[in-house]
Amino acid sequence: MNIQRYMTRGVVRVVRDSLRATAANETEKAFMTSFAKASRAASQKRRAAEKTGEHIPPFLIASITSACNLHCAGCYSRSNNACCDQKPIDQLTAAEWDRIFCEAEELGISFILLAGGEPLMRYDVLQKAAGHGNILFPIFTNGTFLHEKYLSFLDANCNLLPIISIEGDEAVTDARRGDGVYQQVTNAMQSIRDRGMIFGASVTVTTENIDEVYSDAFLDSLSALGCKAVIYVEYVPVTEESRHLAPTETEQKRMRKAVRRLRRVRRNMVFIAFPGDEKSSGGCVAAGRGFFHINSHGGAEPCPFSPYSDVNVRELGVRGALKSPLFMALREGGVLDNDHVGGCVLYEQRDKVEKLLKGEDD
C-alpha cells in the first residue's frame, strides 16, 4: 500500500465531495474552487518531498487549547489529563500557532483540524488560522459558543469550517454532553443555516448509538438543519468498564458498509469515517503516515488518542517533529498495522508505545 498515494486520493475525494456539497452556495463554492487549486499545489509539494525521501502528511490535528467548558461522559482528553477547566499554563501562543500554520502550508499540508479542549475558547488562534486561505481548518467544537461574535467571524472566513459534535437525538446527546446541550447545538446549526453558511457534524459512534446515527431519520434531521458533512469517529474506550461501547469488528464492517451506501445515495452531503479506511490503507495513518497531533503545549504526538511525545514543535518546528524517533519507531516497527478494538490501535497498544518512547525493545 502506497500511503502517500492513498492519502492524496483521500484529499482529492474530500475536496471533490465538498465542491458538490457547496454547489448551491456561491461564496462557499468560490472558496472550495480556490482551495481545490491550492490543494493540488500542496499535493505536488508532498510528491516532490517524497522523491527526496521525506514524507509529508496532508493532515495535521492541532489541539489549540486544553480548556473546555463541558464534562462529556467518556471523554478521552479528560481521561488522560489533556483537558481541564482552568486556563492551561504555558500553552502555545497565537503567534506560535501562526508559525506552525505557515510552516505547514510551506510543506504542503492541506488540512489542519482544530481541536481542544474547546477550540472556540482560543479566538486569538482562530484569527491567525483565518489568514491562511490555502489551508482548510475544520473546527471540532461542542457548539456551545456559536453565538453572534463567532457566527459573524466564521461567515467572513470560509476556510474555517465548524464541525459540531452531536451524539444522536436529544436524549443521547444530553446524556453524554450535559442537559440542554442538544438544544444549544441545534439552535447553533439553525443560525448557521439561516446565514447560508456551511457546517458539518462530528458523531462519536458507540455500540449504543450505531443504529441511530447511520439512519435516514437522523441524517434527514441533520440535512434539514443545513449540515453538509458528517464525520463518524469510532469510540475509543478510556477504561475497561467502557470497552463494551467500542464497536466490534463485525460492527466496524457494518459501519464501513453504511458509509459506502451514504456516499452513494446522499450526494448532497460529505461522509468521512475515522478511522474507517484503515483496512484499505494498510493500517493506522497516525504518527506522520497520514497525520500527527500537536497538543496545546507544542508536544508532537502520534494521535490525540495516543498522548505520548518525545519532541516539541517549539524547538524543532513541524518538519523536525515529523522526524520524531517515536514516530519513526511506530512507522517502522509494524505497530500501526495491528488489529485492535475500538477506534485507535495506538490506544489499544499503549504499553508498547510507552516502551518505544523509553527506547525499550520488546
In a domain, 362, yes or no: no
Q: Looking at residue 341, what is its pLDDT?
A: 54
In a domain, 68, yes or no: yes
Backbone phi, psi, residue 136, to 5°: -95, 125
Give the N- to C-terminal CA distance of the chain in Å, as an integer. 26
Q: Looking at residue 1, what is its pLDDT?
A: 43
CB-based contact 125:162 (threshold 8 Å): no
**CATH number of the domain within which 219 lies:** 3.20.20.70
Distances, alpha carbon 125 to alpha carbons 139, 210, 307, in Å: 12, 34, 22
Cα radius of gyration (the chain): 19
| Owning domain of residue 79 | 3-357
In a domain, 235, yes or no: yes
Q: Looking at residue 267, what is its pLDDT?
A: 83
Residue 230, helix vs strand vs coil: strand
Interaxial angle between packed helices 26-51 and 94-107, expressed in degrees from 0 to 180 and rounded to the nearest 10: 70
Q: Looking at residue 342, what is its pLDDT?
A: 54
Number of independent structural domains in the chain? 1
Residue 245, helix vs strand vs coil: helix
Task: Catalogue the E-assigned strands of the chain.
Answer: 59-63, 111-115, 137-141, 160-165, 199-205, 227-234, 270-274, 293-294, 300-301
Distances, alpha carbon 231 to alpha carbons 222, 270, 352, in Å: 12, 8, 29
Mean pLDDT by 10 residues, the chain (362 residues): 56 73 81 88 94 93 94 79 77 97 96 95 97 95 96 95 96 94 97 91 94 96 93 83 85 91 89 70 78 95 88 96 92 70 67 77 56
The cell 459501519 sits on which residue? 255
In a domain, 109, yes or no: yes
* Bridge partners (DSSP) listed for residue 299: 312
CB-based contact 258:26 (threshold 8 Å): no
Residue among 53, 45, 62 nearest 11 (CA): 45
CB-based contact 45:107 (threshold 8 Å): yes
In a domain, 320, yes or no: yes
The cell 499554563 sits on which residue? 89
In a domain, 292, yes or no: yes
